[in-house]
Structure 1
Amino acid sequence: MNYETFNPHPDLEPVVKCYWTLEVPNGSQAPKQRIVPDGCIEMCFILGDDIKRFTSEMAYVLQPRAMVIGQITTPYYVQPTGYVNSFAIRFYPYGFANFIRTPIQELADKDTPLHALFDEVSIGSLEQDIIEATSTNERIEIVERFLKNRLNESAVVDQIVKSTIDALYKTKGKASIGTILKEEPHKRRNLERNFSRLVGISPKQLGKIIRLQAALQSLLNKKNETLTQIAYESEYYDQAHFIKDFKEFTGINPKEYLNDEQMMLSSLIYSES
């Protein structure tokens, strides 16, 4: 399993977090992989064999070959049907809203084909160019041209949203929204409204996801630490609170996480975030 990340052009740095590629050889018989919330929205191109997204224990649909994966609020499962070769753009929580007119909250917890969000002619051309590209750098150049052409020149990243998200990342989700807005509490309602429009989830929910991500990294990188230590470092009320939030977003408890082969992909991604 080969996972790599790449930095965006400076013009897109305010909205694009990174580009990533994932390649898994055919015949690896990968089990279902549990995908958990990370607070970001992604545009993804499937260049290898089809990938299943499970809608129940046994039922599944095939993911679109070119899609946007909206905000994830509950875990779900995917499974490759063969060779995996994916190229994707990971946007900051507020980033993708700058490129579409569709309300961002409508994308949550589903895979939306790109042709449902952009005109079919330009998406058809984009997808074909991505398929025919001979390197990741070429794909990045192609998608950056597409994004730059569609980035509204008058669009300005909402500063109260950005500053709140920056504070959440800086504190690893530990800061409460009330603390972040302590000097300007009257902006709370406006913040909630703009989060719904630009991010697709509430500030509190994003904070919980960011804190969970920090805890996941601690689990992966500090395997000798106890759950109590990780809960303390992440400023959960206690271990029970940590386990409750962990299960809400991953579907399993922390002890199961490290030994669950269905978390191999998530573990690889989050250990390098």
Structure 2
Amino acid sequence: MNYQTFQSHPDLESLVKCYWTLEVPAETNAQRQRIVPDGCIEMIFILGDDIKRYTSENEFIVQPRAIVVGQITEPFIIEPTGYVHCFAARFYPFGFANFVTRPIKDLANKETPIEQLFGEKTARELAQKIIQATHTKARIEIVENFLLGKFKNKRTIDSVVKLTVDTMLETKGNTSINSILKEDLTKRRQLERKFVNQIGISPKQLSKVIRLQAALKLLLNQQSESLTQIAYESEYYDQAHFNRDFKEFTGINPKDFLQNDKMLLSSVFYTED
């Protein structure tokens, strides 16, 4: 498995967290993979064989070749059908809203073909350029030119939304929304509306995702000796609270996480991110 990340253009670095590539050789008995939410939205181009996403235990769809995956707040299970080769742009929580007019909440917990967001002709041309490019550097240049062109006439980042997200990231999801807004309930209601429009989920949901990510990194990097210690260091009320949030987003208990082959892909993403 070869996973690499790349920095974004200075003019986009406040919106695009990184670009990434993933290559995995074809396996005879490929396992389903549970993708753990990270609070980001991704524009993904599938360059290898098809990838399935399960909509129930036994039903699946084949993901389109060029998609945007919105905010994930529930178990998201995929399965490769052969050789995996993907190129993607990973946006900060507030980033992708600056490039589209469609409500971001409509993208949650699913993959949306990019033609539904940018128009069939524009999307087809972009996808063809990405597919025909011979190396990652060229793909990054193609997608950055596309994003810079789209950004010129779009709204700028809402300062209150950005401040809130930045504070969540800096504190690893452990600062209450009321403390950020100085207990102003009017501002809180406004912020919740802006979050739904620009990020796709509520401030509370994003905060839970960010805190879960911090706990995941401790777990994956084996920086704590026990789940109780991880829960404590991540400022959960207790281990039961940690277990409950973990299972809500992943569908699996944290004690089973490292021993489960279905979490290998997430392990790679969040150990190296």
Sort the TM-score into its range (normalised by shorter chain).
over 0.9
Residue 74 of structure 1 pairs with residue 74 of structure 2:
yes
Q: For residues 177-203 of structure 1, what are the alpha-carbon distances to aligned partners after superposition, in whole Å with 9 as ceiling and x for unaligned? A: 112212755411111111011000000
- Return closer, same or farther for 1:154/1:127 CA change in 2, 3 Å cut-off: closer
Residue 174 of structure 1 pairs with residue 174 of structure 2:
yes
CA distance in 1, matches of 2:160, 2:261: 40
CA distance in 1, matches of 2:82, 2:29: 8
Q: How far 1:30 moved relative to its partner?
A: 2.3
How is 1:79-228 mapped onto 2 (pairs within 5 angstroms)?
Answer: 79-153=79-153, 155-182=155-182, 184-222=184-222, 224-228=224-228
CA distance in 2, matches of 1:205, 1:144: 29
Q: For residues 96-119 of structure 1, what are the alpha-carbon distances to aligned partners after superposition, in whole Å with 9 as ceiling and x for unaligned? A: 111111111011111100111112
Corresponding residue pairs, total: 273
**Aligned residues: percent identity?**
62
The one-letter code matched in structure 2 to 1:70 is G
Partner of 1:36: 36
Partner of 2:7: 7
CA distance in 2, matches of 1:265, 1:272: 11
Structure 1 stretch displaced more, 25-34 or 1-10: 25-34
CA distance in 1, matches of 2:177, 2:17: 23
CA distance in 1, matches of 2:28, 2:175: 42
Partner of 1:21: 21
**Structure 2 runs not aligned, ≥5 long:** none
Residue 242 of structure 1 pairs with residue 242 of structure 2:
yes
Preserved contact between residue 98 and residue 152 of structure 1 (Cα < 8 Å): no
Q: What's the secondary structure of 2:53's corresponding residue?
A: strand
Q: How far 1:229 moved relative to its partner?
A: 0.7
Q: For residues 16-74 of structure 1, what are the alpha-carbon distances to aligned partners after superposition, in whole Å with 9 as ceiling and x for unaligned? A: 01000000112353200001211111000000000001111111110010000011110
The one-letter code matched in structure 1 to 2:255 is K
CA distance in 2, matches of 1:166, 1:197: 18
Preserved contact between residue 173 and residue 207 of structure 2 (Cα < 8 Å): yes
**Considering only aligned residues, what root-mean-square deviation do their CA atoms show, in Å?**
1.2
**TM-score, structure 1 normalization:** 0.97
Q: How far 1:153 moved relative to its partner?
A: 3.9
CA distance in 2, matches of 1:82, 1:115: 25
**Structure 1 runs not aligned, ≥5 long:** none
- Return closer, same or farther for 1:88/1:154 CA change in 2, 3 Å cut-off: closer
Preserved contact between residue 48 and residue 83 of structure 1 (Cα < 8 Å): yes
Partner of 2:267: 267
Q: What's the secondary structure of 2:148's corresponding residue?
A: helix
Q: How far 1:154 moved relative to its partner?
A: 5.5
